[in-house]
Amino acid sequence: MHSFPAPALAMVEQMSQAAAAQPERAVALQGAPGCNSHRAALEYAPDCLPLPCFSFEDALDAVKEGKADRAIIPIENSQHGRVADIHFLLPESGLFIVGEYVMAIHHALMGLTEGPFTAAYSHPQALGQSRHYLRERGIVPMAYADTAGAAAFVREQGDPRACAIAPRLAAELYGLKLVAENVEDANDNTTRFVVLARTPLDPATLAGGPAMTTFVFEVRNVPAALYKALGGFATNGVNMTKLESYQKGASFAATTFYADILGAPGDPAVDRAIEELAFHCKYLRILGTYRQARPRG
């Protein structure tokens, strides 16, 4: 908590105390008050108590340690791709995905003055989603831990040439001038969040509605291993909506894959496909089965 800029600390302290009193209502999130994850938490669970954490690891640890019942974490953006490090952090956390939330993202430019500005502070994702806007105006992007924290940082530093890209709410919370709204480069800018908890949902409780299952796996290091491992999804008619690879370790010989499929364990087709996948894998872990927030396809 001490890593937040001073203008955010009082709010973080107040929200942390409220969450400590009722941890069963607390939802941990990465970022200062006013960030997109703060907004996502309140929209996903309006009666929750948001618990701001400085890093993604801090948010996940809050759930593991019982300080929060759940965490809401951004995992991918329609414009800028996956959120860095999340694919590593989720399997390592030992937590389970129990929900997802999809939210339209709108960024605002804010500062102590109305400009001109030479530098814009924000989370790398927000900077990437607004890169054309910044480049056209000659504003240098400067990475910060989160969007609202960047707004608090601009207020704390007191530099009239610095601005922040953050949700509109951050300008109100930290007393900054709202210079421009909707500075994202795409008007359909959307972020998908996952909700994490200590225990997984029972897939049987999701019967009657569209479900997603997320898992990570590492195939055996033999020719055509990935082709054979994924063949069961095709032959059993299971739709894989996401497949991403990332390197684990320094050998560059073992690739880990992160995947989403439509359906849930207990469905015979899904069970057969996962059984065939496991046969060709050195490692397989299901991260969770949860209700689909938005139709795929």
Q: Could you list the active site residues?
A: 191, 193
Q: Is the peptide bond before 203 cis (omega within 30 degrees of 0)?
A: no
Strands 26-30 and 70-77: parallel
Phi, psi of 52 (to 5 degrees): -70, 135
Ordered strands of the 255-262 beta sheet: 240-247, 255-262, 211-219, 281-291
- 66: CB partners within 8 A, 6+ apart: 23, 198
Please give the biggest Cα pair distance in the chain. Answer: 62
CA distance 85 to 220: 24
The total number of residues written for the chain in this structure: 297
Using alpha carbons, select from 67, 47, 173, 26 the residue that is nearest to residue 110: 173
β 81-82/177-181 pair status: unpaired
Q: Which amino acid is at 85?
A: D
Burial call 91-127: b when 16+ CB within 10 Å, e when fewer: bebebbbbbbbebebebbbbbbeebebeebbbbebbb
Q: Which amino acid is at 193?
A: F
